[in-house]
Amino acid sequence: MDLVAAGVIGMLIFFIIMFLGFNIPFAMLFGGAVGLVLISGPAVASTMIATEFVNTFSSYTLTVAPLFGLMGFVASFSGIGEKIFGCIKTYLGHKRGGLAHAVQAANVGLGAITGSALAANATFTAVAYPEMRKEGYAAEFSAMVIINGGIIAVLLPPSTTKVLYGMMTETSITHLFMAGFLPALLALILNLLTIWVILKVRPDLASVSRKCSWKERWEATKRGGIIEIAIVFIISLGGMFTGFFTPTEAAAVGAFGMTIVAAVSRQLTWKKFTKALYQGLRLAAMYYFLLSSANVLGRMFVLTRIPMRLGSWVENLGLEPLAVVVVIILIYLILGLFSEMNSMMLLTLPMFFPLVVDYAGFSPLWFCNILILLMGIGAVTPPVGVAIFFQKGFIQPYDPDVPISSLFRASYPWLIPRFAATIILIFVPQITTILPHLFYGAPL
């Protein structure tokens, strides 16, 4: 069979299975398997699939994401997120919208520790959402503050999304982590401005807490374990950025250090530790299966030469590099309306990465940050909006009568800072590349 026809059939199988309601990794696996069978026959295809799974599950390098995930679960189950929130609240809670600013900043911090926006949002809904409601904050506004803080955290180390991207594109994970700091700071500033503007227009959405003394703030800082957590991060990520640790070693040091901090501070019981281990095991299984399935689909794409032919076709069109990137961004925005973007990233990278990096000449570090911002837009837009549906489930025990439609409506103002950050990075890509360039000599 013609290679392109086999690839198209494999893609159709993938989309059909996905829209029938199967999990995306299964859809990737079946679509890729059908394509490989049509290309090379059942015997060779089965060998290729088995090889991809064995290589993925036995990869030492890939343990970086599950280990960072374990570090995050230990932090989450031990109550560190609650301590961080309590600490930041003492500094910001006395200003109008200060509690919202505290939640935003603390959620970014916890998301950076866990490497997962979903884990950070779940934790902060339990910790901060009841406090915000008690202080007179509107339900929808409170939920949006929590969601948009977690989304920013994906830009920061130890982002599992960046690990996946690095593995798929053979880009340095250390460089990807370093490239996220300034875009995350930009996104956080824009989000804090969004909170200020929303409350300027609708002051009834928030209230003011009492002002804490500097003594209370220092006590909250000590109780919050901020100093100990900072030490763990400095040792783990600092060792990785300076080249003393590999990313995998840094993840192991971070997981071990976070466990020690939580245990010594008596925040981690054996029951909580076993829960963290269980969740870490689930994350590892999901991560390996997702990446293995994506590799099967990617192997099919490589054999069909569809990415290379697509690149040649685009080159023959004679489009400006920026125009190609804008078209790809629009495609991702459309895909984000209907699917979970982490999986879509793995599916589309074999096609779009060569166009953005090789043809258009943009940095792979820049493209990763742009994708994460686009994921953040897709996560809160209908009809799928996975972050909105998850958040609805998280706030259900506290506000069961909040309709999903009102959460979607409340999310629209938050699209402005996300689009603004994306546009700024498109026209000033050096925001992403300047730190890797200064520290490691990576291209600007």
Q: What is the 3-state secondary structure (H, E, C) of 108-142?
A: HHHHHHHCCHHHHHHHHHHHCHHHHHHCCCCHHHH
Per-residue model confidence (pLDDT) at position 193: 92
Are 111 and 202 found together in one domain? yes
Are 217 and 178 found together in one domain? yes
Give the gyration radius of the chain's Cα atoms.
22
Per-residue model confidence (pLDDT) at position 341: 64
Determine the Cα–Cα distance for residues 429 and 98; give it in Å rounded to an integer.
Answer: 31
Per-residue model confidence (pLDDT) at position 428: 92
Determine the Cα–Cα distance for residues 61 and 393; give it in Å rounded to an integer.
Answer: 34
Determine the Cα–Cα distance for residues 104 and 286; give it in Å rounded to an integer.
Answer: 28
Asked whether the CA dihedral 336, 338, 343, 348 is positive or negative, the reply is negative
Are 32 and 67 found together in one domain? no
Are 192 and 272 found together in one domain? yes
Are 272 and 129 found together in one domain? yes
Determine the Cα–Cα distance for residues 349 and 328; give it in Å rounded to an integer.
Answer: 11
| Nearest CA among 106, 96, 95 for reference residue 205 | 96
How many structural domains comprise the chain?
2
User: How many angstroms separate the Cα of 265 from the Cα of each of 225, 226, 261, 279, 373?
Assistant: 8, 12, 6, 22, 36
Per-residue model confidence (pLDDT) at position 339: 64
Question: Over the chain (444 residues), what is each successive 10-residue block's mean pLDDT?
Answer: 80 81 79 88 88 84 74 72 71 72 77 67 74 82 86 82 85 91 92 90 77 75 68 80 81 84 78 82 78 81 74 73 85 73 74 85 92 85 74 82 86 91 92 91 79
Determine the Cα–Cα distance for residues 59 and 48; give it in Å rounded to an integer.
Answer: 16
Per-residue model confidence (pLDDT) at position 383: 66
Determine the Cα–Cα distance for residues 157 and 173; give it in Å rounded to an integer.
Answer: 9
Are 103 and 37 found together in one domain? no
Q: Is the distance from CB of 362 to CB of 325 less than 8 angstroms?
A: yes
Amino acid at 35: G
Are 13 and 130 found together in one domain? no
At which of 58, 87, 105 does a domain end?
58
Query: To the nearest 5 percent, what fractions of the chain are helix, strand and coil?
Result: 80, 0, 20
3-state class (DSSP) for residue 378 = helix
Are 263 and 142 found together in one domain? yes
- Full residue range of the structural domain in which residue 12 is found: 1-58
What's the token pair of residue 4? 């392109």
Are 254 and 370 found together in one domain? yes
Per-residue model confidence (pLDDT) at position 119: 67
Query: What is the H or E stretch that residue 94 is in?
Result: none
Amino acid at 381: T
Are 378 and 237 found together in one domain? yes
Are 50 and 114 found together in one domain? no
Q: Is the pTM of this model over 0.85?
A: no
Are 37 and 126 found together in one domain? no
Q: Is the distance from CB of 85 to CB of 103 less than 8 angstroms?
A: yes
At which of 58, 83, 106 does a domain end?
58
Query: What is the H or E stretch that residue 270 is in?
Result: helix 270-304
Determine the Cα–Cα distance for residues 149 and 102; give it in Å rounded to an integer.
Answer: 10
What's the token pair of residue 275? 């829960």
